[in-house]
Amino acid sequence: MTPNRFAECLASLRWTQRGLAAILECDDRLVRRWASGEADIPASVAAWLETLAQAHDAIPPPQGWKRRQNA
């Protein structure tokens, strides 16, 4: 996974780098190194992020359930 694809997956999931670090229970500096390309993203993390991002993109939030309040 490239750093650009990593950023795209996080954006798709609406996750921050710090949020991902919390989910993975790792140091946020490690996630920053992945994002910058300074460290390789482990294959298992890359595959997991790809799967989640693809599912999130394929199944968008429901529409039309919420009405706007009149001001």
Residue 60 in domain: no
Residue 27: C-alpha distances to residues 18, 22, 31, 58, 62 (Å) = 9, 8, 7, 30, 34
Residue 39: C-alpha distances to residues 12, 30, 35, 44 (Å) = 22, 8, 8, 14
- What is the tally of structural domains in the chain? 1
Residue 1 in domain: yes
- Domain range spanning residue 6? 1-40
Residue 65 in domain: no
Residue 35 in domain: yes
Higher pLDDT, 60 or 20: 20
Residue 34 in domain: yes
Residue 52 in domain: no
Q: What is the pLDDT of residues 8-28, one digit of tens each?
A: 999 999 999 999 999 999 999
Asked whether residue 56 carries a pLDDT value surpassing 90, the answer given is yes
